Amino acid sequence: MIDIDKIRHDFPMLTNHPELIYFDSAATSLKPQCVIDAVTSFYTHHTSNVHRGDYEIAALNDRLYDGVRKKVAALIGCQGDEVIYTHNISHSLNQVALGLAHTLKPGDVILTSMAEHASDLLPWFALSHAKGVRIEYVPTDAQANISIEDFEKAMHEGVRIVALAHVTNVLGSVNPIREITQIAHRYGALVVVDGAQAVPHMKVDVKDLDVDFYGFSAHKMCGPGGVGVLYGKKQLLNDLVPVFEGGDMNARFNKDGEVIYKNPPIRFEAGTPNIEGVIGMGAAIDYLMEIGMDEIEAYEKQLRAYFCSRMKELDNIELLNPDNASGPITFNAKGVFAQDAAGYLA
């Protein structure tokens, strides 16, 4: 049973603004004290770079930084060496799109939907312009849900990559990713999933889903900004080309430009990383897992059902996604411009 009073007490933002009811977690989440403490401790007690120093504080940060991979692995059900640290979900999806560009040829198809966030459309648009690949769309219903039947009809031998959100950001539709992946793999297509709105709110097991790539951002799951994750199947990471070049990703190089890269995931993490962000993300994972992802999902569904039932009592409110199971609730106030309604509620 979730103790809401205790949880509210964990967040300084809510302590400092006791009247605040925060409805913007789909954009970014508030941070619990344990995450703030983890980031602050890095700055006040053990600042150093990682993978570069042979002194005690540097060794501590190596352990903390690398240890978060195991925490991510436990959170999403993968191995630590399949976890790449990125800046955010946008970076994660760009790494996949640009990193797979060399495997695509003109006429190949990227299958996606119009319910995707820009982060899961723009990288594929760029690839379309650069490589001549085609973008095709799976139809959705009025609440942005994809049916298995429609997805199967949209699949064909020319589809090389399926790029979809696990949970869409506007209407909160939960896509049947496991079934979608099974169909896509029958056609030999890779499956790339935007999990930014899923990982903070439900238990995710990437091995059970059998997806090829899966990304998310820390800042939407009580973690710091500027850090995210890209999961990739180990065998696929060896064929993925890094988007950035820089220090620590190489084992050695010579003056003729020959580079020997380190094994994944380090080869994708060029330059000094967001060390404090990664450490803070680890604290956020600890916090969420202590509460329990199943508990969080169940409570959010209960809260959503209550909110929607009360909204339906208002004659001037039109709910746009009453049947979806995840957190986002989208509505219109009849006769009121949406931006004005948001301003009134603030």
Does residue 342 register a pLDDT over 90? Answer: no
Distance between first and last Cα of the chain: 30
Please tell me the predicted confidence (pLDDT) of residue 1: 78
The domains located in the chain, with CATH, are 45-289 (3.40.640.10)
**pLDDT one-digit tens code per residue, 27-60:** 999 999 999 999 999 999 999 999 999 999 999 9
In 39-184, where do the E strands start and end? 83-86, 109-112, 134-137, 159-165
Please, what is the average pLDDT of the chain? 96
- DSSP helix, strand, coil percent of the chain (3-state; round to 5): 40, 15, 45
Who's near 327: CB < 8 A, 6+ residues apart?
Answer: 25, 26, 172, 197, 201, 300, 304
Please tell me the predicted confidence (pLDDT) of residue 28: 97
Please tell me the predicted confidence (pLDDT) of residue 341: 87
C-alpha to C-alpha distance for 65 and 246, rounded to whole angstroms:
19
Who's near 75: CB < 8 A, 6+ residues apart?
Answer: 199, 204, 285, 288, 289, 293
Does residue 82 register a pLDDT over 90? Answer: yes
C-alpha to C-alpha distance for 209 and 76, rounded to whole angstroms:
10
**pLDDT one-digit tens code per residue, 170-222:** 999 999 999 999 999 999 999 999 999 999 999 999 999 999 999 999 999 99
- 176 with 150: CB under 8 angstroms? no
Q: pTM for the complete prediction? A: 0.96
C-alpha to C-alpha distance for 175 and 158, rounded to whole angstroms:
22
